Amino acid sequence: MEKILYTGGTFDIFHYGHVNLLRQCSMIADKVIVSLNSDEFIKEYKGEYPILRYNERAQSVSECKYVDKVIKNTGGMDSRPAILESKANIVAIGTDWATRDYYAQMNFDQQWLDTNGIVLVYLPDSRHLISTSDIRSRMEKHYKNYLNTGDENEGL
């Protein structure tokens, strides 16, 4: 049986932490499907729009050699439609979710996973390496330094 893996997220400002997660996904599956959150859902969930628009994020993620297909998370908080669309038999998430209620976040339970023949796996979290939030914070700091110094080469 072909192992099809689903993972989802925002993947804003695509970076090597994202690549690390997707590489790990590719090590346990024959095919990796990424469900990408819509701009509107990100605004609703995080309170602000992503830096990159959906089509820009989709292009970046689809260019990653570890990704076979990118689909849009059209269900928002209910990931079941995207998971079913992907035909996945594996759902992979980072260990950062181990202490949070991922089932509630994704709007499914163990029975739904079992009924659909899907196993949930936790992959080592890469946020200690780098994160989009960290990059955004650095960008803001550099911009503020630039404004304060007036030196156009500051922070380069």
> Per-residue pLDDT tens for 1-42?
999 999 999 999 888 889 999 999 999 999 999 999 999 999
pLDDT tens digit sequence for 115-155: 999 999 999 876 667 777 777 777 777 666 766 776 555 55
Tokens of 147: 């404004």
Mean pLDDT throughout 38-53?
A: 92
Q: What is the pLDDT of residue 59?
A: 97
- Residue type for position 127: R
Contacts of residue 53, Cβ cutoff 8 Å, sequence gap at least 6: 39
- What are the chain's domains? 4-125 (3.40.50.620)
Helix or strand (DSSP H, E) at 150 = none
Q: What 3-state class would DSSP assign to 122? A: strand
Buried b (16+ CB within 10 A) or exposed e, 48-67: eebebebeebbebbeebebb
**145 C-beta neighbours (distance < 10 Å), count:** 12
pLDDT at 6: 97
